[in-house]
Amino acid sequence: MTPRAIVRADGAFETALGLVLVAGTAVNWLGPADFPDPVGRPVILAFGLALLAVGALLWRLAGSIDLRTLAAANAATAAAAVAWRVAAAGFSTTGSALAVATAAALAALAFAQEGARRPGGLARKERGAAG
């Protein structure tokens, strides 16, 4: 997988998660009962809208984003999601599953991004096989 494709996959994930949060609040599937206080519908909606913007930005700038920075951001966000889930009380089953799945996806993206940027990583192996 090329670095550009990995960044676009990240953008697609951010967009999908943003849509889940926005749609979830719109149809009352997600709300204050799903996450610890003080997270309520306005916070969930704000995060969803922000993720839609991040997803669009990643998709658009896929060829020019530094993979090291993106991998670090995804790894840090995954760690923060795990820490939040472990330390905070008040998650519903849905909220907990969403937090854990998000952390797992972000960790996988960070791993792929880090692997693609290292010498001998995914992108270099593809170029060697294609050329």
Taking the chain (131 residues) in runs of 10, the rounded mean pLDDT of each run is: 92 98 96 94 97 97 93 98 97 97 98 82 48 41
pTM attached to this predicted model = 0.87
Give the pLDDT score at 121: 59
Q: Positive or negative, the Cα torsion across 97, 100, 106, 110?
A: negative
Q: CA 107 to CA 105: how far, in whole Å?
A: 5
Range of the domain at 24: 3-130
For the chain, what is the domain count?
1
Give the pLDDT score at 1: 81
Q: CA 113 to CA 74: how far, in whole Å?
A: 9
Check: CB of residue 71 under 8 Å from CB of residue 45: no
Give the pLDDT score at 125: 46
90 backbone φψ class: left, alpha, beta (φ>0; ψ -120 to 50): left
